Amino acid sequence: MTIPRADIPPRRRLLQGNDAVVEGALAAGCRFFAGYPITPATEISEVMASKLPGVGGTFIQMEDEIASLGAVIGASLAGVKAMTATSGPGFSLMQENLGFACIAEVPCVIVNVMRGGPSTGLPTHVSQGDVMQARWGTHGDHPIIVLAAATTRECFELTVRAFYLAEKYRTPVILLTDEVVAHTREIMTLPPSEAVEVVNRVRPTVPPEWYIPYEDNARGVPPMGIFGDGYRYHVTGLMHDVRGFPTERHDEVEPLVRRLFRKIQQHFADIMWVREDLMADAEIMVVAYGSVARSAHRAVHEARERGVKAGLMQLITLWPFPRQLLEPRLRQVRAVLVPELNLGQISREVKRVNQGVTRVNTLNRIDGDLITPDEIVEQLVKM
């Protein structure tokens, strides 16, 4: 079955980040959305409800976030590209089903528009407090792919990218934005649909009666049979054998978990993504992501005007943590600054990778306001 693509004309649009997420999802072929309204992600649901029916898709407002991700998983198993969107408290409720999607290898996209927490916290203010939750929120040993957007254009690009990775590697992918990114309006040119790289999951080439749903291969990613096409198989959150049935056999449990990791680890080059600015001769490096990367971009240019050889590494992929891309830069510079809207969730990873190679300073804010370029410049000058 060919899923109709959204018709996205190449025209300039004034969009906020949440709007751009919707445009990216439609361009990637998303045709199912289930969600529950929550500040500051609600506009994603609102615009999806308006636009999905026009391209042959389905929108459903669920009773809560637990059911939302459950419906997304079901739609994906039936062959439809599916996503949901939420913020911190709703993301917490999704964790059990996120683990189910990981072990059952169900491609889907979860957008988390971060806000202040814990609990109800600061619903209308910015935060980056969900970084570690995105990696470790659901229990057990499992890999995960997490992307972070900093601009309206990146909201579009990374939503497309999230579907690309989810479908290619049969895994849930989390896209982190935040209140500032979600509600910042910027002019961008939406590309024509034929210019968007769209990837669909690999389908089995054997008849349904020959199909082994979790059989290993060189990529570590089994072809995914679609229930509506006659490929009925057992789907469970339990450890399972290659046919999907529950097992406790050591020679079946361990190979399953190791394959889940291998299918991500052996494709790091495709998954890991950073953007660099002024890093060629940088002596001080800023490592930032999300809305703080916007402030950091301006800050390194202003620091250059003041004689400080500063550069920026913007993390697009947060998990798997892009260690291979960071290590050479740590050996290049004499100091690193990690500004973030939490008490140091990514700076801990930078320090873990650094292992004393250079000096790592932090700049943290947790009051619901953005870190400004001036605050970053001040720290760079001191360093």
**CATH number listed for the domain at residues 12-195:** 3.40.50.970
Inform me whether the pLDDT recorded for 186 exceeds 70: yes
What pLDDT is stored for residue 2 in this prediction? 36
| pLDDT exceeds cutoff 50 at 4 | no
Q: Over the stretch 78-88, which tens digit does the pLDDT of each residue have?
A: 999 999 999 99
Q: Which of 295, 372, 366 is nearest to 125 (CA)?
A: 366
Predicted confidence (pLDDT) per residue in 249-262, tens digit: 999 999 999 999 99
Mean per-residue pLDDT, 326-339: 98
Q: What is the pLDDT confidence band of residue 7, given thresholds at 50, 70 and 90?
A: low
State how far the Cα of 210 lies from the Cα of 13, in Å rounded to an integer: 49
Measured CA to CA, the distance from residue 104 to residue 260 in angstroms comes to 10
> Per DSSP, which regions of the chain are E strands?
12-16, 32-35, 58-61, 82-86, 108-114, 145-148, 172-178, 185-189, 274-277, 284-288, 310-315, 317-319, 335-340, 359-364
Kindly state the tokens that stand for 155: 């909201």
Q: Give the Cα separation of 288 and 178 in Å (integer).
A: 14
Query: Of all residues in the chain, what percent carry a pLDDT higher than 90?
Result: 94
What does DSSP assign to residue 88?
H
Per-residue pLDDT at 293 exceeds 70: yes
Give me the amino acid identity at 118: P
Which residues are within 8 A (CB) of 212 and not within 5 positions of it... i.e. 6 or more apart? Answer: 222, 242, 243
Structural domain spans, the chain: 12-195, 208-269, 275-382
Are 160 and 24 in contact by the 8 Å Cβ rule? The answer is yes
CATH topology of domain 275-382: Rossmann fold (3.40.50)
Domain 12-195 shares a fold with domain 275-382: yes
Q: What pLDDT does residue 33 have?
A: 98
Give the three-state DSSP class for 198. Answer: coil
Question: How far apart are the C-alpha atoms of 326 and 295, rounded to whole Å?
Answer: 20
Output the pLDDT for position 10: 63
> How many CB atoms lie under 10 A from the CB of residue 164?
19
Write out pLDDT tens, residues 113-171. Answer: 999 999 999 999 999 999 999 999 999 999 999 999 999 999 999 999 999 999 999 99
pLDDT exceeds 50 at position 3: no
* Structure tokens, 4: 């109709």
Q: What is the mean pLDDT of the chain?
A: 96
Q: Classify each residue of 58-69 as buried b or exposed e, where b means 16 or more C-beta atoms within 10 Å of its C-beta.
A: ebeebeebbbbb
Instruction: Find, among 171, 175, 122, the residue nearest to 146 by Cα.
Output: 175
CA distance 286 to 98: 32
pLDDT tens-place string over residues 29-64: 999 999 999 999 999 999 999 999 999 999 999 999
Residue 279: DSSP 8-state = -
187-210 pLDDT per residue, tens? 999 998 888 989 999 999 999 999
